[in-house]
Structure 1
Amino acid sequence: MKQADRTIIEKMIGYCDQISAMMERFGRDLESFRQDKAYQYAVSMCILQIGELINRLSPEVMETNVQVPWRLIRAMRNVFAHDYDRTKPLTVWQTITEDIPALRAQLLSMLDEESDTRQ
């Protein structure tokens, strides 16, 4: 894996961690999320940034890691960037409670596998 790809993946993990930190700060329940626009906007910006970072990954990384739903993440980024008023709090909530932890685990696994092959 190229260093540039590794750096991008580390940044993506950082945004996943920021989402988790916001959940700790604002609340880990759907009702808190629905009631707080700042909470919604904050996690949405992190999701948008994750999607933006995907655009910088090399095709090789995406082709060798087909378990990651790159296209879906990129599509969600486009909705956040260009059609935000279409997003529903429940969809965003499901993303941050289900998809983001799964993505974080996949990204960490990619880095672990890459480290194993370098040794």
Structure 2
Amino acid sequence: MSSERNIDILKHIVDYCNEIFHTQTYFGDSFEVFKSNSIYRNAVAMCILQIGELSGNLTDDFKESYGGVPWRNIKGMRNIMAHKYGDINATIVWEAVNEDIPQLREYCSDILDKYRVLEQAAVEDEGDEEPEI
């Protein structure tokens, strides 16, 4: 069951990463626009906050097995977004949007792809079993 929960969480994380990408596409890939447009910053900040919240719900075993991203730092960024929003450095958030979020999306997508392959193999194995008489 916890495996299913982790997979569900990863799907949501990828969705929020995609939402950040779509927001950036909508507003443009300009730091100056990001810095000056509170709607742009708030949309991105909400997605980062949600990603951090979700990452905190992954099981410890999962985070240990898949340590290719800094889960603890992701949760830490969420805490900063939630509790010290007025103190957030736009440059740091912009760097996260352009460097960390694409890496996180790719990493989580790779895990999901592997899971789908394993899930499909299990379904195929079930189909190979002889029916009991």
Unaligned runs of 5+ in 2: 122-133
Query: Sequence identity, in percent?
Result: 36
Q: Where do residues 77-88 of structure 1 align in structure 2 (5 Å cutoff)?
A: 77-88=78-89
| Residue in structure 2 matched with residue 44 of structure 1 by the alignment | 45
Q: Which protein shows a greater Rg?
A: 2
Runs of 4+ in 1 over 6 A off after TM superposition: none
Give 1:113 shift.
Answer: 2.3
Q: Where do residues 101-112 of structure 1 align in structure 2 (5 Å cutoff)?
A: 101-112=102-113
3-state DSSP of counterpart to 1:2: helix
Residues matched between the structures, number: 119
| Residue in structure 1 matched with residue 127 of structure 2 by the alignment | none
Give TM-score scaled by structure 2 length.
Answer: 0.85
Unaligned runs of 5+ in 1: none
In 1, the alpha carbon distance for the partners of 2:65 and 2:110 equals 13
Give 1:36 shift.
Answer: 0.3
In angstroms, what is the RMSD of aligned CA positions?
A: 1.2
In 1, the alpha carbon distance for the partners of 2:18 and 2:93 equals 16
Give 1:117 shift.
Answer: 3.5
1:86-118 per-position Cα deviation (integer Å, ceiling 9, x unaligned): 211111110101100000000011112223344
